[in-house]
Amino acid sequence: MTQGTVKLFNDSKECMALKVSEEILKQTTKCVFDFKCLNEETRDVCKVDRCIGGLCLLETIKSGFCSYKFSFGNSCACLCPTRVELYRNCSII
């Protein structure tokens, strides 16, 4: 399995390298944002409260349409493989 390395900045503006596997990127077939979450200058993601399995429960939600976002009780959830990977393995909340 190959990986792509992307440089991003955390909240304190410290550079960190993100590794998102090619397998995960290939699973993300419905991204309408052209993977802007992987770019340090354009990263604008919904804030995750927690993940359960491959489902992220969202704390704050970006406006607009997303193929992976859906209503879940009184909140919203996300099934984007790349977003789940960013939360789990890269600590991008």
Task: Output the pTM of the full model.
Answer: 0.78
Q: What is the pLDDT of residue 12?
A: 42
Q: What is the pLDDT of residue 14?
A: 43
Q: What is the pLDDT of residue 2?
A: 43
Domain map of the chain by residue range?
3-90
Other CB atoms closer than 10 Å to residue 13's CB: what's the count?
A: 7
| Extended beta strands in 1-93, E state | 3-9, 15-21, 47-52, 55-60, 69-72, 75-78
| SS3 state at 47 | strand
Regions of the chain short of the pLDDT cut 70: 1-17
**Contact of 9 with 15, CB cutoff 8 Å:** yes
